[in-house]
Amino acid sequence: MSHGAAPADGRIPVTVVGGYLGAGKTTLVNHLLRNAEGRRIAVLVNDFGELPIDADLIESQAGEVIGIAGGCVCCSFGSDLMGALARIARAEPAPEHVLVEASGVGLPGSVARSIALVPLFRIDSVAVLADCETVRSRAADTYMGDTITRQLAEADLVIANKADLVSPGGLAELHAWLARSAPQARVVEAIRGAVPPAVLFDDHAPASLRGAGRGLLIGAIAPQGDAAARYESASFTVRHRVDAAALARALTSPGCGVLRAKGVVRDLDGSGSVLHVVGARTETGPHAGSEAGSNPAGIACIGLRGRLDRDAIARAIAASRDPVNTAKNT
Amino acid sequence: MTVVYRARRILTMNPARPEATHVAVRDGRILGTGTLDELKGWGAYTLEDRFADKILMPGLVEGHSHTSEGTFWRYTYVGYFDRTDPEGRVWRGASSIEAAVDRLKDAGAAMTDPATSIAGWGLDPIYYGERRCSRHDLDRASTSRAVGVLHASGHILNVNTRALELAGLLRKGVDHPGIPLGDDGLPTGELKGPEAMMPAAPHVGFDRDLLACDELGLRYFAKLCVRKGVTTAADMASQLPPDAVTMMARVTGEADFPVRIVSLRRLFNINPGELIARAIELRAASGDRLRLGIIKIVVDGSIQGFSARLKWPGYHNGAPNGLWYVTPEQLRAALAGALEHGVQVHAHTNGDEATELLLDCVEEALARHPVRDHRFTIQHGQLVNAAQFRRIKALGMCVNLFSNHHFYWGDAHYSTTVGPERAERMNACATALANGVPLAIHSDAPVTPLGPLFTAWCAVNRLTASGRVLGSAERISVADALRAITLGAAYTLKLDAEVGSIECGKRADFAVLEDDPLTVAPEHLKDVRIWGTVQQGRIFPAPPPP
């Protein structure tokens, strides 16, 4: 039996993975496949020029499609990203999450804007990898510099990879540089692409735990294993009506320290709204799957340990309350 | 058996014997040129008199086209300029958007299945003033069928309301730089760039790789070649999957197939090492009329699409710099591997920054693998500057410049893309020749129409569609232009020992002309009438239109 099911609004979330050659896009993708925890992930790569999947994960290969352990697949899309997306959406069962690996010189923001044209998909985030050791010199390169800075400027999340190869002082300089080059983005450090799946994927739990009446499964977003030492999560109950879009935007402010947030809240008109935040990106829409009005509504957030500011988030929630209906809702 | 052709004049491109009245042919190859008396020594012959009032030139060589020029003719042509189809019918240019729409409407009226879409190609709204083509315009062609028209540049697709609906784009809130919205908040139907085009393209009949070619397309392409005097044509960027190679080998191998196709494998969906191995494999699979084994690398985009990589000061209108289509790492690996294994490389660069990166990488690869006579060729090279031509010469490279661009987009280059000074030195044929750089010129068909004599006219006159002479200093002589479309292009394809001139030992490939390109006024070079071709001694008249 498939767990996970289709996302609340029926659209499949897509993460566009960008970054220059050698920054670790393929390593990240393989890390996420190894830690898929039962999610059906479809990986789309520009081409099979270099084999994008670690050999031990491959179960089969037929032409442009690689079968991966755990029901995941990897396809090359060549010059026809839209065609590949259409095929993926028709697959039975449909994937729960799509990872699109942009080419090293591709602009992942442009790729995301194009994917957003297809109504079946929702851009979850644009994650751009930066090689901690080389990104600054690459960004100064005569030929490739502006491509790299444009990639970073379009990121919702910057994954500063190979962080173990740089001294603490070097990392501090890198963060200062990233704060100027990608001021909109949240930055996480990683070693060998090891970013907790909870940062890049929606909460994921067996369908048996998702039943009506449970509302939002706050706990599922919590980082597991080693990541728990570096990341933390927090959840908030939201009893009053809020301006969901404004709340989502507020959660992107650097002060909140939110890497990822998901919530179901009652919007100003009383309808259920689902809210996604990944770094700089927000998305809100009707929550089709439940009667949010009758369930406890809330928001789950994940951030770097020590950076996730619960007070700031609580203030953001309070500030997004509907001023007119506040009294009768609380 | 020997055939001696008598002609009014034979322009040989052999400087030792530049003209003749007769050419002797045996087994598809040339025994020699001269007077009949000179050729009698080869023994018994048949005298062929049908070209007695014609001019023979070496079969023309199109050094950069795509066999998909043949594929496009199954769609409705709605371009601004007259264009000849493979059967020889001249499609009159559409003088207005209304005229283009009428033609699409007629195409729809001729269809029986109500679900069939209407696909047009060649639209060029820059000639219709400020007005853009909108979905409402195309709705006049049909509201029930999906209608789509590809622009001449290949970079923009206009669709009607039905096509937007089928593509899921007829909604508010579409947020994409390539999809302008109307006052009603809905897309206008103009889809700019490959990504914006992709959701709608399959619904209007453009559901395939636009540069790919099928069997029908290849046959149409060959018919066009005969009409344009072309006996050798480069098919500049294919992925050459095995079944396409099998089809091309079969079709080109047919006894009456009139063209030698040189098809290049593009660096795409394959890593550089595998590409080199595949090129060596393909080279071995070459046949007489299908030549394989050269690789193509696309370094940047196009200038009119603002996706070419320009050096400082960039685009004249302030557009951000273009896109790289390859990483320097891939480029270096492909170039080094190619030199090491004797594989030739043709590299597309439009912007001068893309050219500069290519030259840096070639220089580096040559330092490691000092190969002589590699003939790596820059394709388009539209903004190559004088300093770069000097480097190109020093590195042993060739250029194949895009002369047709002056005519079709020269005015836009002058006013918008690169500004007056650089527009005047685009496709700098004279500078290339002055620096001793081996030169070819091309059409990039179907981007502009196939026709080397037209391309030569462009290089000689450098006229834009509005009549401006764009860079008189870069004009070249008719003789130089004719060399560029024969021996020059053959040299870039490493076929100059076989074709490109009419001389002893070479293939009996001729362009058969009604008029003499060396005596017509240079401004009429494009109007030289073409009777057909001779290819490997086989005669191919261009049949009259039905």
Q: Specify the pLDDT at position A203.
A: 67
- Inspect the interface and report whether the beta carbons of A117 and B271 lie closer than 8 Å: no
Please give the Cα distance from B301 to B296 (Å, whole number): 14
**Cβ–Cβ gap A107/B176 under 8 Å:** no
Q: Do B271 and A80 count as a contact with CB atoms less than 8 A apart?
A: no
B169 in contact with A, Cβ within 8 Å:
yes
Residue A56 contacts B where some CB pair is shorter than 8 Å = no
Using a CB-CB cut-off of 8 Å, the residues of chain B touching A47 are: 268-270
Length of chain A: 330
Amino acid at B160: N
Give the residue from A25, A50, A82, A149 with the most B CB atoms within 10 Å of its CB, the best one to mutate: A82
Nearest to B199 among A82, A110, A144 (CB): A82
Alpha-carbon gap: B405 to the closest alpha carbon of chain A (Å): 25
Instruction: Tally Cβ neighbours within 10 Å of residue B44.
Output: 7
**SS3 category, A97:** strand
Residue among B31, B23, B30, B26 at smallest CA distance from B49:
B23
Task: Work out the average pLDDT over B218-224.
Answer: 97
Chain B environment of A245 (Cβ under 8 Å): none
C-alpha torsion angle, residues B9, B14, B17, B23 (rounded to 10): -50
A11 neighbourhood in chain B, CB within 8 Å? none
As a whole number of angstroms, the distance between CA B181 and CA B164 comes to 12
CB burial of residue B502 (10 Å; 0-12, 13-18, 19+): buried
User: Is the CB of B323 less than 8 angstroms away from the CB of A105?
Assistant: yes
**pLDDT band per the 50, 70, 90 thresholds, residue A210:** very low
| pTM of the predicted protein model | 0.91
Q: B327 and A83 in contact by Cβ < 8 A? A: no
**Mutation target among B324, B332, B358, B360 for the A interface, most CBs of A within 10 A:** B324
* Partner residue facing B324 (CB), from A50, A79, A105: A105
At A122, which amino acid appears?
R
CA distances from residue B431 to A189, A190, B417, B489 in whole angstroms, order as listed: 52, 52, 22, 17
Query: A-chain residues within 8 Å CB-CB of B195?
Result: 81, 110-111, 113-114, 117
β-strand A41-45 against A72-76: which pairing, if any?
parallel
Question: Which carries the bigger pLDDT value, residue B372 or residue A203?
Answer: B372
**pLDDT, position B396:** 98
Contact (CB, 8 A) for B523 and B458 = no
Q: What's residue B209's pLDDT? A: 65
Q: How far is A70 from chain B (nearest CA, A)?
A: 26
Report the mean per-residue pLDDT for chain A. 86
Question: Phi/psi class of residue A27: alpha, beta or left (left: φ > 0; alpha: ψ in -120 to 50)?
Answer: alpha
Residue B446: asked if its preceding bond is cis (omega within 30°), the reply is yes
Length of chain B: 546
| Beta-carbon separation of A79 and B209 below 8 A | yes
Give the A window 4-23 contacts with B, CB below 8 Å.
20-22
Taking CA–CA distances from B354, the nearest residue in chain A reads A143
Residue B130 pLDDT > 90: no
Query: What pLDDT shows up at residue B208?
Result: 61
Mark which residues 145-174 of A lie under 8 Å from B by CB. 146-147
How much of chain B exceeds pLDDT 90, in percent? 88
Helix (H) or strand (E) holding A33: helix A25-34
3-state class (DSSP) for residue B11? strand
- What does the pLDDT read at residue A224? 66
Q: Name the pLDDT band for A7 (thresholds 50, 70, 90).
A: very low
Scored b (16 or more CB within 10 A) or e, A20-44 reads bbbbbbbbbbbbbbbbbeebbbbbb
B89 has pLDDT over 70: yes
The mean pLDDT of B24-37, rounded to a whole number, is 98
Rounded CA separation B78/B91 (Å): 8
Q: What is the dihedral of CA B320, B321, B327, B329, to 10 degrees?
A: -120
Computed over every residue of chain B, the mean pLDDT equals: 95
- Using the structure block, give the residue that is written with the tokens 């001021």: A183
Single-letter amino acid, residue B232: T
For residues B132-143, one letter each, b for 16 or more C-beta atoms within 10 angstroms of the residue's C-beta and e for the rest, the string is ebbbebbbebbe
Which pLDDT band, with edges at 50, 70 and 90, does B479 fall under? Answer: very high
| % pLDDT > 70, chain A | 85
Q: What is the dihedral of CA B77, B83, B84, B89, to 10 degrees?
A: 60
Q: A-chain residues within 8 Å CB-CB of B330?
A: 21, 49
Is the minimum CB–CB distance between A80 and chain B shorter than 8 Å? yes
> What is d(CA B327, CA B271) in angstroms, rounded to the nearest whole number?
12
Query: Got the DSSP string for A207-230?
Result: GGGS-TTS-S-GGGGS--GGGGGT
Say yes or no for a CB contact (<8 Å) between B323 and A107: yes
Question: CB A144 to CB B327 under 8 A?
Answer: yes
Substitution target in B181, B240, B330, B353 with the highest count of A β-carbons within 10 Å is B330
Mean pLDDT of B201-212: 77
pLDDT at A329: 44
> At CA B181, angle to CA B176 and CA B182, rounded to 5?
180
Q: Inter-chain contact B196–A117, Cβ cutoff 8 Å?
A: yes
- Helix, strand, or coil (residue A152): helix
H or E stretch at B251: helix B242-252
In angstroms, what separates the C-alpha of A326 from chain B's closest C-alpha?
30
* Per-residue pLDDT at A296: 64
Nearest residue to B124 via CA among B164, B163, B84, B96: B96
Provide the pairing of β-strand B398-401 with B439-441: parallel
Could you read off the pLDDT of A122-175 as tens digits, one per residue?
999 999 999 999 999 999 999 999 999 999 999 999 999 999 999 999 999 999
End-to-end CA distance of chain B: 35
DSSP state of B125: G
What's the Cα-to-Cα distance from B59 to each of A9, B539, B540, rounded to whole Å? 62, 12, 12
Give the model confidence (pLDDT) of B400-420 as tens digits. 999 999 999 999 999 999 999
B338-394 pLDDT, tens digit each: 999 999 999 999 999 999 999 999 999 999 999 999 999 999 999 999 999 999 999
A312 torsion bin: left (phi>0), alpha (psi -120 to 50), beta (else) = alpha
Q: Which of B199, B270, B321 sits opposite A118 (nearest CB)?
A: B199
Write out chain A residues lying below 8 Å of B202, CB-based. 83
Residues of B in contact with A147 (CB under 8 A): 323-324
Q: What is the mean pLDDT of residues B206-230?
A: 87
CA distance B409 to chain A (A): 26
pLDDT surpasses 50 at B310: yes
Q: What strands lie across the sheet with B439-441, from one edge to the other? A: B60-65, B230-238, B260-266, B290-298, B345-349, B377-380, B398-401, B439-441
| A107 → chain B, closest CA residue | B323
Q: What is the mean pLDDT of residues A234-253?
A: 94
Structure tokens of A92?
Answer: 């039975």
pLDDT of residue A51: 75
Q: Please state, in angstroms and rounded to a whole number, the distance separating the CA atoms of residues A3 and A203.
A: 12
- Average confidence (pLDDT) over A12-29: 95
Minimal-distance CA residue of chain B relative to A19: B327
- Residues of A whose CB is below 8 A from B327: 20-21, 103-105, 144
Looking at residue B17, the DSSP 8-state letter turns out to be S
Tell me which of A29 and A87 has the higher pLDDT. A29
Most A CBs within 10 Å: which of B186, B195, B361, as the mutation test of the A interface? Answer: B195
Reduced to 3 states, what is the DSSP secondary structure of residue B424? Answer: helix
Helix, strand, or coil (residue B152): coil
Tell me the shortest Cα–Cα distance from B456 to chain A, in angstroms: 33
Would you tell me how many other CB atoms lie within 10 Å of the CB of residue B302?
23
**What ipTM, to 2 d.p.?**
0.85
DSSP 8-state class, residue B427: T
> Where residue A219 falls among pLDDT bands split at 50, 70, 90?
very low
- Cα of A179 to nearest chain B Cα, Å: 23
